[in-house]
Amino acid sequence: MDHPFAITLDVGTSKSNKTGSWRNVRPEYVHRLPPCNHACPAGEDIQGWLAHAEAGDYEAAWRALTVNNPLPAVMGRVCYHPCEGACNRKDIDAAVGINSVERFLGDTALAKGWAFEPPASESGKTVLVVGAGPSGLSAAYHLRRMGHRVAIHEAGPLPGGMMRFGIPKYRLPRDILDGEVKRITDMGVTITYNAKVENIREAMMAGGFDAAFLAVGAHIAKRAYIPAGEAAKVLDAVQVLRSMEGEDKPLLGRRVVVYGGGNTAIDVARTAKRLGAEEAVIVYRRTRDRMPAHDFEVEEALEEGVMMKWLSTIKTVEAGSITVEKMALDDKGFPQPTGEMETLEADSVILALGQDVDLGLLDGVAGLEVKDGVVKVGPNMMTGAPGIFAGGDMVPSERTVTVAVGHGKKAARHIDAWLCGETYQPAEKHEIASFDKLNTWYYGEAPQQMRPVLEIARRTSTFEEVVKGLDETNALFEARRCLSCGNCFECDNCYGVCPDNAVIKLGPGKGFEFNYDYCKGCALCAEECPCGAIRMVPEAL
C-alpha cells in the first residue's frame, strides 16, 4: 500500500469484514393483517386505502376501496363499522374514524363523477342476480368486473332493497344511494324492476343464465298475536318504512307506540317523530343493555325525544290505548311477566319484531335446504342446487348492509370460479397485527375528528341527514391517524436505527431491503418498527 504522509487506512476497508456471519436471527419484512381489515364483513383493505388517503390521493384511495366494496358513500353512512371496534388505535386514544373517511371518499367520488373501469374482456357467461339490494348489487358489480354479463331482477320499483325500503332518509339520503347504484349500472349491469322472480329454475332457463345469485331481502314482518279491538290501528315497521318511499305518507297519529328493541324499532320511532308524532314510545320487554339495537342509534333517538319503556310487553291494543304488562328479568336474564298492568295512550301501534325472507322462488328446486327461514349455503356461498348461490338476508348470518356486501363479493368470486369449472381458493390470511406487535411510541397524539351532527330541532321535524360528513382537512387528519398496523409505511425507522448500515432504502414506494452481509441480527429494526412489519426469524445454523 502506497499512501501519502500519515494516511494509513483506506476508506471503506471495513466492508471486507462481513459481520453478517455473527447473526443467529435474521430480520424479514412481513405483511401482517390489520385488525380493521380482519373485522370488516365486506373484506375491505382499510389500511391500504387509508394509506392513499393520508397522502391526499383520494382517487387512488377510492379505487383501492372499491376493489372490495362498490358502495363507499352508503357504507360511510349505514355501516356499524366493526373495523373501528377492532382498531388498535383505540388502545392509544380513540379508534381511527374509518367510517367517516370512507364516507368522505364516497361523497368525493360522487361529487367528482369518478366511474368504474369496464371489464378488460368479456367472458361470454351470464349471471342472474335476484334482488337489487346491497348483496345483489355487490355481486353484480364484482361479476361484471370479472367480465360476466349480469342481469338483476328486482321485485320492487327502485334499486337498493332494504337500503331504500328499510333505512330512513335521515340516515341514507336517496341521491347518494342512486348515485352509487348508477355507477354499477353504468358498467353494463342491467336491472329490471317490478320483476319478481317466482321460480328460480324457470327464470334461469328463460333467460339462458349460466348461474344465479339469490339476494332477496327480509321484507316480511314477523307478527305476534296481540288481541286488538276493531278500531285499533296496528301496523308493521317494514310497511311503515316502505310507505315512506311512496307518495302517501303513513298516518300514525299523535301518540305512536313501537314494539320491539332492534334497529328497525329505533328507525321507525324516529321516523314517527319526524312525521309529527308528539310522542313516540318504544316498548321493549327487556332492558337497554339487552337491546339488539346499536347504542349510538338508541342515543340519537333519545336525543330526538323518543321515549323508551323497558321491561314491558303489549297485552292488548284498543282504539286510542294499549295495555302493557311489566316484566322482570329472572336469574338468567329472561323477562318474566309480573302480572302488573298499565295503560298507555296510543293512536297507533307499530310492530318491529323482526323480519323474514320470502323464499317462494325456491319452491320445487331440488337439493335446496331451508332451515329456520333461511337457505343453507356452503363455504362457497352455493346452495344445495348446483349453480345457484345465495347471500345477504337469505342465508344464516348477521343481517347488515356490510355483511350483505361481503356476501356479494365472496359469492362473485366463487361464481366466477364455478363458471370456469374451477374452485376459488382464497389467499392465505396473514397473521394479525395485534397491538403487542406495535411500537406505539412513534405515533403522535391526535384526537379523533367527530362528524358534525344536525341540530335537534331540525332532526325532529325534517328528514334531513342527521350525521354530516367530514371536510377535507378533517378527513385527511383522520386518515393520518391510521397506525398502518402490520404494513410498512416507509417511516425509515429500520433504515435509521440499524447500527450496521445493513438496511438498504430502495426509494419512494419501494420499501427497504436487508443487507445480510452486514446485518448482525441485533433486532433493533424489528423492535423499533412502529407498525410491526418486521419479523425476526432464527437462522438455520
Partner 1 sequence: MTDNPGSAADGAQKLRYYQKGTFTVGNRLVDAENRSVQASEERSNALTCGHRACQGCGEALGARYALDAAMRATGGQLIAVNATGCLEVFTTPYPETSWQLPWMHSLFGNAAAVATGVAAAMRVKGKRDVRVIAQGGDGGTTDIGFQCLSGMFERNDDVLYICYDNEGYMNTGVQRSSATPPAARTATTPAVGPEPGNVFGTGKSVPRIAVAHRIPYVATATVADLHDLERKVVKAMSIRGARYLQIDVPCPLGWGSASHDTIKLARLAVETGFYPIFEAEHGKITAVRSIRRPRPVTDYLKLQKRYAHLFKGGQEDPRVARLQAMCDANIAEYGLLADGQDG
Which residue ranges make up the site for partner 1 (CB under 8 A)?
1, 6, 8-19, 22, 54-56, 441-447, 449, 452, 471, 473-474, 476-477, 480-484, 489-493, 495-502, 505, 507-508, 515, 517-518, 520-524, 526-528, 530
Question: Which of 142, 481 has the CB closer to partner 1?
Answer: 481
Smallest gap from residue 459 Cβ to partner 1 (A):
18
User: Whose Cβ is closer to partner 1: residue 23's or residue 315's?
Assistant: 23
In this structure, what DSSP letter does residue 156 have? S
211-214 and 388-390 as β-strands: parallel, antiparallel, unpaired?
Answer: parallel
Q: What is the 3-state secondary structure (H, E, C) of 110-144?
A: HHHCCCCCCCCCCCCCEEEEECCCHHHHHHHHHHH
Instruction: Cell numbers for 469, please give them.
Output: 360528513
Give 460-481 as a DSSP string. TT----SBPPP-HHHHHHHHTT
Q: Which three cell numbers stand for residue 355?
A: 323480519
If the CB atoms of residues 307 and 456 are measured against partner 1, the closer one turns out to be 456
- The total of other beta-carbon atoms located within 10 Å of residue 292's CB is 14
Q: Does residue 496 contact residue 530 with C-beta atoms inside 8 Å?
A: no
CB of 13 to partner 1, least distance (A): 4
Q: Which is nearer to partner 1, 331 or 455 (CB)?
A: 455
Q: How far is the CB of 59 from partner 1 (least distance, A)?
A: 17
Residue 78 CB, shortest distance to partner 1, in Å, is 24
Shortest gap between Cβ of 531 and partner 1 (angstroms)?
A: 9
In this complex, which beta carbon is closest to partner 1, that of residue 18 or of residue 429?
18
* Least gap, CB of 106 to partner 1 (angstroms): 20
Q: Which is nearer to partner 1, 284 or 489 (CB)?
A: 489
Alpha-carbon gap, residue 7 to 9, rounded angstroms: 6
| CA contacts within 13 A on the Cβ side of 156 | 19
Whole-number Å distance between alpha carbons of 525 and 329: 55
Report yes or no: 222 and 165 within 8 Å, Cβ to Cβ: no
Shortest distance, position 19 Cβ to partner 1, whole Å: 6
- Decide whether 417 or 491 has the Cβ nearer to partner 1: 491
CA–CA dist 116, 126 (Å, integer): 20
